[in-house]
Amino acid sequence: MYRDLRDKARLKIKIRIRRLVQSPDGKWYQMRPDLPVHGATEKLYVVVSVTNIGRRPIKWEGWGGDYHKPVSGKPSFQIIPTNLPVMLNEGDSCEDLTDDLEAAGNNVKRLYVYDASGKNWYLSRKAMWRLKKEYREFRHLQSK
């Protein structure tokens, strides 16, 4: 019974506010916005990292969130993904980003990623609290 209960897909989600920087060998890295690194972008990004910590493969389709107060009559929003959908096997991870900082704004109630079966995997309350704290701390750094 224990084996059958553990034999499923599970996702671990991290969402942070970051800047991007390109190394001399051409690879892109993400960093905290308050670190003074030469060549880092001025623009801030909301970066979503998803890792399959379960035993079954899962197809990550996209991500979005719910508002506290509806915006333009809509209770939720979807982010247009840059490199999704992607199949995540056991232990695989993938990242997606957006330059819309309002995805981490104060009107956002919760954020989630969704898979091909339509299941929503929500960001934990503690992680959401940390993301909103980062948003309040770094939003003034966003270049217009």
Residue 131 pLDDT level (bands cut at 50, 70, 90): very high
* Residue, of 101 and 48, whose pLDDT is higher: 48
Stretch among 48-52, 110-114, 135-139 having the lowest mean pLDDT:
135-139
Question: How far, CA to CA in Å, does 26 sit from each of 37, 66, 88, 134?
Answer: 16, 36, 25, 28
Looking at residue 105, its pLDDT comes to 87
Residue in this structure with the two tokens 């909103």, named with its chain if needed: 132
Across the chain, mean pLDDT equals 90
CATH: 3.30.70, 2.40.50, 2.60.40, 1.10.287. Which one for 2-141? 2.60.40
Looking at residue 143, its pLDDT comes to 57
Residue 2 has pLDDT above 80, yes or no: no
Reduced 3-state DSSP string for the chain: CHHHHHCCCCEEEEEEEEEEEECCCCCEEEECCCCCCCCCCCCCEEEEEEEECCCCCEEEEEEEEEEEEEECCEEEEEECCCCCCEEECCCCEEEEEECCHHHHCCCEEEEEEEECCCCEEECCHHHHHHHHHHHHHHHHHCCC
Residue 94 Cα to chain centre, angstroms: 10
Looking at residue 12, its pLDDT comes to 95
| pLDDT cut 70: percent of the chain above it | 99
Output the pTM of the full model: 0.85
Residue 46 has pLDDT above 90, yes or no: yes
CA dist., res. 92 & res. 127, Å (int): 21
Cβ atoms of 113 and 120 closer than 8 Å: yes
Looking at residue 102, its pLDDT comes to 87
